[in-house]
Amino acid sequence: MTQKLEMSETSPARNTPEHFPVIVVGAGPVGMSMALGLACNGIPCLIINDDDQLSEGSRAICIQRSTLEIFDRLGCARPMVEKGVTWQVGRIFSGENELFRINLPNSRTEKFPPFINLQQFYTEQHLLEALQKQPLVDLRWNHKLVGLSQTNGQVTVTVETPGDLSSGQPSGQPSGQPSSQGTGQQTFTAGYV
């Protein structure tokens, strides 16, 4: 079971919509990578995620060299390579018969191996650790997107949260533990979602 995550301490409850240049929906590998990339380029953003924990299973286990190079620019590749299993030969079998074999090139001049296998939870954990060092990223757990509208140059996002955030009750209640205030809603605006 993965550790439950709490709401960002820099995420105050507000009655008026908070504005961000960009809102990223989802704190999986793609969402966290997008937010890190934006922050590395000086663009503040908000990530909203409808859960309060990292993934428990793996839908993305193989990470290729070019992705590791991106993660390196985002500041989180080294611990992934240290934790992952490196490989350069791929084989496909039917029973005991080898159907296909590919040998991926790897030279000493390359910074990263052709591929690593790393459970998605660890990928997300390393991305989260990099995010936590970024002052331009605000990550909100237990914020489920329930509404989206667009007007001239602005997007309005409505999220459902556990509890009434306007009363100051924190989001981030562990799963299965109901909020004493029920479900609340919060609105954000952004230039892009």
The band of 162, judged by pLDDT with boundaries at 50, 70 and 90, is confident
More confident residue, 97 or 7: 97
Question: Please, which residues have CB within 8 angstroms of residue 188's CB and are 6 or more apart in sequence?
Answer: 17, 18, 19, 20, 23, 46, 48, 156, 157, 159
Assess contact for 129 and 121: CB atoms under 8 A: no
Length of the chain: 193
Per the structure block, which two tokens stand in for 124?
Answer: 């997300």
| Strand-strand pairing, 89-94 and 137-140 | unpaired
Q: Averaged over 137-157, what is the pLDDT?
A: 94
The band of 17, judged by pLDDT with boundaries at 50, 70 and 90, is confident
The band of 16, judged by pLDDT with boundaries at 50, 70 and 90, is low
Task: Determine how many CB atoms are found less than 10 A away from the CB of residue 168.
Answer: 10
Q: Which pLDDT does position 15 carry in this prediction?
A: 53
Report the C-alpha gap between 193 and 53 in whole angstroms. Answer: 22
List the one residue out of 90, 92, 93, 82 whose CA is nearest residue 114: 90
User: What average pLDDT does the structure give for the chain?
Assistant: 84
List the one residue out of 10, 14, 19, 8 whose CA is nearest residue 168: 14
| CA torsion angle 17 19 20 21 (round to 10) | 140
Beta bridge partners of 64: 115
Q: Which pLDDT does position 149 carry in this prediction?
A: 95
Beta strands per DSSP E along 49-119: 62-64, 85-87, 89-94, 97-103, 115-117
Q: Which pLDDT does position 138 carry in this prediction?
A: 95
- pTM above the 0.85 mark? no
Q: Which pLDDT does position 166 carry in this prediction?
A: 45
Q: Averaged over 162-183, what is the pLDDT?
A: 46
Whole-number CA gyration radius for the chain: 20
The band of 177, judged by pLDDT with boundaries at 50, 70 and 90, is very low
The band of 159, judged by pLDDT with boundaries at 50, 70 and 90, is very high
The band of 106, judged by pLDDT with boundaries at 50, 70 and 90, is confident
Per the structure block, which two tokens stand in for 153?
Answer: 């140059």
Q: Which pLDDT does position 5 carry in this prediction?
A: 52
Is it the case that residue 26 has pLDDT exceeding 60? yes
